[in-house]
Amino acid sequence: MRGVIRLEALTRSYGGRPAVDGVDLEVAAGELITLVGPSGSGKSTILRLIAGLDRPDSGRILVDDVDVATVPPPRRAVAMVFQDYALFPHLTVLGNLTFGLRVRKVRRAEAEQRARAAAQRLGIDGLLDRYPDQMSGGQRQRVALARALLRDPSVYLLDEPLASLDGPLRFATRTDLLALHRELRTTTIHVTHDQHEAMTLGDRVVVLADGQIRQVGPPQQVYDEPADTFVAGFLGSPPMNLVPGGGVLGGDATLTIGVRPEDLALDDAGPVTATVEAVESLGSEANLSTRCPDGTRLIVRTGPRPGVALGDEVRLRADRLHRFDATTGRRR
């Protein structure tokens, strides 16, 4: 089946420090996977290894059951969109879009026609005569995406392709990408820092830390049942409250108890007492920073007008607790 990616014990170190450390992952044909993790966790390195721009120290990469170590990068059926766009500065948008097609001997008229169609799809058809330095970061990013679309690969590798877009444009482009994926069904690995992208784009999300995979699963499952305290703290904004020993949430010294801000509620009959230290109003919702008598800080997400003020004493109810091993951080 076209577009199956298998990573086996993939490892790559720089100067003795592993950037990618024993990664095993199978991506199904047609799947859209999001790869998330903190800066420096190895996301771009994994994509560059798959694209053949870098070589693993050990482990294997199979695309469509072929070990790609034997295939030179230009012949790998992957299209990568780089974090920094990597457009040719001396070519116009049209030139950038047609370049790869021309290299593959597509006739000029046809190349230009296909380029215009891809540009139209990404809303940059008005920019075809511009040079990269005459465009905004978001526009350049769309050009890089359009260029990848023109390659018709088995696999798309997208390294933060929406990072330079903001607000409505980011939302619209995310929706476009998703629609495009539904239509083309090309296997895609999408790297992102963005919580919304991580939750909404992928069939599965892969959470990476220090070059190692911490958890793989459907986004809602990873969110609902994080495998360890790292994943619990990484997905979700504001992050899950984690209380060593459990404290006001109950538990014992062998446990760390977690509760997401939205699973804490203001409730006059709630068992936890806390003082409001900060109110952050976000329009559609509010985050309260509260402090319990034992010093524990709990972030509470409420509706838009929580009706509390700084210094108020409130009672809280916790609806859904997560238990982690206090030593290993693993879910229990």
Ligand X SMILES: Nc1ncnc2c1ncn2[C@@H]1O[C@H](COP(=O)(O)OP(=O)(O)OP(=O)(O)O)[C@@H](O)[C@H]1O
43-102 residues in contact with ligand X (CB under 6 A) are: 43-45, 83
Contact call for residues 266 and 308 (beta carbons, < 8 A) = yes
Q: Least distance to ligand X from the beta carbon of 159, Å? A: 7
Candidates 2-10, 41-49, 58-66, 194-202: pick the segment binding ligand X (CB under 6 A): 41-49
Picked from Mg ion, ligand X, none, the partner binding residue 141 (CB below 5 to 8 A depending on kind) is none
Which of the 8 DSSP states describes residue 330?
B
Pick 29 or 199: Cβ nearer ligand X: 199
Pick 17 or 75: Cβ nearer ligand X: 17
CA distance 68 to 7: 11
Give yes or no for residue 259 binding ligand X (CB under 6 A): no
Residues 6+ apart with CB under 8 A from 312: 275, 276
Pick 209 or 288: Cβ nearer ligand X: 209
Candidates 2-10, 40-48, 126-134, 302-310: pick the segment binding ligand X (CB under 6 A): 40-48
Judged by CB under 6 A, the residue of 21, 23, 36, 41 near ligand X is 41
Instruction: Count CB-CB contacts under 10 A for residue 310.
Output: 11
CA distance 11 to 125: 41
Q: What is the 3-state secondary structure (H, E, C) of 51-66?
A: HCCCCCCEEEEEECCE
> Interface mask (CB under 6 A) for ligand X, residues 6-35, using x and -?
--------x----x----------------
In the chain the first and final C-alpha atoms are separated, in Å, by: 38
At position 140, the amino acid (one-letter code) is R
Residues that bind ligand X (CB under 6 A): 14, 19, 37, 39-45, 83
